[in-house]
Structure 1
Amino acid sequence: MANLRAIRLRIRGVKNIAKITRAMEMIAASKMRKAQDRGLAGRPYSEKITAVIAALSALTAGKGGDPLLAQRPVKKIALLQITPDRGLSGGLVGNINRAALNFAVEHRETPLQMVVVGKKGLDAMRRAQRNIVAEFTGLGDKPGLYDTLPISRIIMDDFKSGVVDEVYVAYTQFVSTMVQKPVIIKLLPVEPAEIPPTQNVEYIFEPDAAAVLGSLLPRYVEMKIYHLILESIASEQSARMVAMRSATQNANELIGELTLEYNKARQESITAELLDIVGGVAALA
């Protein structure tokens, strides 16, 4: 009887867990659609401004460009790591933290400072005793551009002042609902693009190409970081929805197994009681 009571309590507990994971799956699905729309909507703009900046950099090469284009001997680098504030998102947090730590190991001969966005990355980098110069948490699921401007300012100020000579960003690229890929890209300095002869069209810039480039570069860095944060949020919500769906399915399977075990134990208990009754009747006869 005690065994039956324990199985009943366990079934009840697993059912409660399944209800919670199902609710979290539905919430993540709702947030995922909005995050995907925001991330995908900004992708064309991000790609276009990247192409424009690269082309302008090529046109102004060798003319004393903007400080954000300065190519210097690499004595110190910075890594901006973008992670979620919360867990329960499958292997997403572990993958991006592992990619950032591997990057640090690969560049162990060069001093590395980190700017960390998100509690999960912050906790991991603190445990690894990395040099964290700035931390940002609590951006939420729907940050605006103004919410991310302090991150961009720190990155640009450190690069302009020569504190760091290169800046990289570690984020989770949204590929599809089922696939989120940890990626590390170089943000600064912006490297001029090779313009094919077929696309080498003469444009007139007012006041000149260098002035336009100088005005666009800070906006480019701000929008690039903002877009990468949106990509990471879309990846987080997608990974959480998939993880909660898997947890719900596993809970339902476990409930089925426990129910079968309960029925078997109950049947054995009933059979034992019947045998006791039959034995007692036979003894009395």
Structure 2
Amino acid sequence: MAMASFRREGQRLSSMLYSHSINALKSGVSSQELAPVGARSISTQIVRNRMKSVKNIQKITKAMKMVAASKLRAIQTKAEKSRGLWQPFTALLGDYPSIDVKKNVIVTISSDKGLCGGINSTSVKMSKGFRKLNSGPDKEVKYVVLGEKAKAQLVRDSKKDIEISITELQKNPFNYTQVSVLADDILKNVEYDALRIVFNKFHSVVSFVPTVTTVLSPEVVERESETGGKLGDLDSYEIEGGETKAEVLQNLTEFQFACSP
């Protein structure tokens, strides 16, 4: 009996609520007033405005991509043309990253800004790896840092080993005059037997190849050529003019460093 009375009472309440909803709709009550507590509603005008703003952002992003692509093509063309300068020196003087010398200077090249993937961290990791490989009781390893990002990472644990730090180099497009002044400033302020230039070589828009180029000092080049080592083929070249062999090697190594990628 009790269960039957409960069922009858439930049916009566359901019919009352249904009739109340029908009457409210007929009387013009808005759907927002009938919505349950916590339900969200939004007008179609807000949706249209949001869609319009998203389309505007898409147009701006597309324009930015086109500008970036045009700048990248120009820089890529310059980089590819500049390789014709340093490749002959690599063929003449060679590139010997495994050569054993006492004074090593690691030139780490990075950017001043981030948001470029692992390019900067890769250069720093390679620089630290070369430092470990060339460390020893009778050896000296120093850093020359080009770029703010590499400086921020190397200064944490190798501050005393940083000989020169130069930042804000990418504000203006590079040309040979600026690079020559920069190279001359570095060579005048560091003593080295080998310069290990660590950088990322451009391969594609989304890919860079970590690369190390070695530039030997004129003294090491002359010593290797005289002892018939890896640079023994240099004696097969004739030197014209009034310059000595040491002066020619000095000019060649300085020019090689300035033209290095």
Where structure 2 has 5 or more consecutive residues not aligned to the other structure, the ranges are 1-38, 226-230
1:35-46 to 2 correspondences below 5 Å: 35-46=75-86
**Offset at 1:79?**
0.9
Q: CA RMSD in A?
A: 3.7
Deviations 1:195-231 (A, max 9, x none): 49xxx9764622356154444332232222xxx2xxx
In structure 2, do the counterparts of structure 1 residues 89 and 10 end up closer, same or farther at CA, with 3 Å as the change threshold?
farther
SS at 1:186's partner residue?
strand
1:71-150 to 2 correspondences below 5 Å: 74=102, 76-109=103-136, 110-130=139-159, 131-140=161-170, 142-150=173-181
1:1-285 to 2 correspondences below 5 Å: 2=40, 22-53=62-93, 74=102, 76-109=103-136, 110-130=139-159, 131-140=161-170, 142-158=173-189, 163-189=191-217, 191=221, 192=225, 193=231, 195=233, 203=238, 205-207=240-242, 210=245, 211-224=247-260, 228=261
TM-score w.r.t. length of structure 1: 0.56
**Offset at 1:4?**
6.7
**Offset at 1:10?**
9.7
The answer to whether the 8 Å contact 1:206/1:212 transfers is: no
Q: Which residue of 1 aligns with 2:36?
A: none
Q: Which of these two proteins has the greater Rg computed from alpha carbons?
A: 2
Tell me the amino acid that sits aligned with residue 177 of structure 1: V
Counterpart CA distance in 2 for 1:135 and 1:203 is 39
In structure 2, do the counterparts of structure 1 residues 223 and 126 end up closer, same or farther at CA, with 3 Å as the change threshold?
same
The answer to whether the 8 Å contact 2:215/2:253 transfers is: no
More helix by share: 1
**Offset at 1:121?**
1.1
**Offset at 1:168?**
0.9
Higher RCO (CA 8 Å, separation ≥ 6 residues):
1
Identity of aligned residues (%): 23
In structure 2, do the counterparts of structure 1 residues 189 and 203 end up closer, same or farther at CA, with 3 Å as the change threshold?
closer
TM-score w.r.t. length of structure 2: 0.61
SS at 1:78's partner residue?
strand
Tell me the amino acid that sits aligned with residue 222 of structure 1: A
Counterpart CA distance in 1 for 2:58 and 2:213 is 39
